[in-house]
């Protein structure tokens, strides 16, 4: 259990903390979470701001653990597996909750999750044949746009919301498009492997 893997596990822990903060029925248990009134139309529930700060911290660990693993030659199969799990738990769970709460369109988590299932299946096929599929730039850009868009959504798109600029929505739409593009790229790069596996 090296340092990068410990950092990755901390991201999973933070993910569950975020899920609890967003889903826990505070009102029904008598716990009052204050609300901020920015203007007549914008009321901010502080639990989303708390989740937003935790999400940013968790997102940063995604870059730190990979950097340390590569820099110190600590890349392991367990690290690769747990890193992928941590990413999915963090991003997909928060996306689903945001869609359920009306912050984002349900289409976004559906597309993101379906794409992840397809790409992960392709990677699994490659692994069974002794091949490793490296991350592509489009996928990395997708992740950057997605995490930034989620963080902004948790912060009610502030400060851009004050000027009626839907920056969070734009970032998530871009991430969704890049998700589809990267999924197609993964498929095209590995068509031969996919057809061979079906023989």
For the chain, give the percent of residues with pLDDT over 70: 98
pLDDT value at position 125? 86
Q: What digits encode the pLDDT tens for the residues 7-24?
A: 999 999 999 999 999 999
Structure tokens at 155: 């912060």
Q: How far apart are the first and last CA of the chain?
A: 39
**Cβ(152)–Cβ(160) under 8 Å?**
yes
Lowest mean pLDDT of 32-41, 45-54, 64-73, 101-110, name the range.
Answer: 32-41
DSSP state of 133: -
CATH, domain range 3-197: 1.20.120.1760
- Of the pLDDT bands very low, low, confident and very high (cuts 50, 70, 90), residue 134 is confident
**Cβ(175)–Cβ(142) under 8 Å?**
yes
Structure tokens at 13: 């822990």
- Is residue 199 scored above 50 in pLDDT? no
Q: In whole angstroms, what is the distance from residue 44 CA to residue 37 CA? A: 6
Helix (H, G, I), strand (E, B) or coil at 76: coil
pLDDT value at position 96? 97
Average pLDDT, the chain: 91
For the chain, give the percent of residues with pLDDT over 90: 63
- Taking the domains of the chain in order of start, what are their residue ranges? 3-197
| Tokens 């870059």, residue located | 63
pLDDT value at position 78? 85
Q: In whole angstroms, what is the distance from residue 146 CA to residue 140 CA? A: 10
pTM: 0.91
Structure tokens at 131: 């091949």
């Amino acid at each position: 259990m090296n340092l990068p893997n410990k950092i990755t596990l901390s991201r999973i822990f933070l993910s569950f903390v975020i899920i609890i903060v967003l889903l826990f029925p505070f009102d029904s248990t008598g716990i009052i979470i204050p609300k901020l009134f920015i203007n007549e139309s914008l009321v901010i529930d502080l639990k989303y701001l708390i989740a937003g700060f935790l999400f940013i911290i968790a997102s940063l660990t995604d870059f730190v653990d990979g950097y340390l693993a590569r820099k110190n030659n600590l890349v392991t199969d367990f690290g690769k597996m747990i890193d992928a799990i941590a990413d999915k738990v963090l991003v997909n769970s928060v996306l689903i909750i945001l869609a359920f709460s009306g912050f984002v369109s349900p289409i976004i988590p559906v597309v993101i999750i379906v794409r992840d299932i397809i790409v992960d299946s392709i990677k699994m096929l490659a692994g069974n044949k002794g091949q490793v599929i490296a991350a592509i730039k489009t996928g990395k850009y997708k992740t950057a746009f997605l995490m930034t868009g989620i963080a902004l959504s948790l912060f009610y798109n502030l400060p851009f919301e004050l000027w009626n600029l839907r920056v969070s929505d734009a970032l998530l739409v871009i991430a969704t498009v890049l998700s589809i593009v990267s999924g197609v790229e993964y498929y095209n790069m590995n068509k031969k492997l996919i057809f061979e596996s079906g023989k």
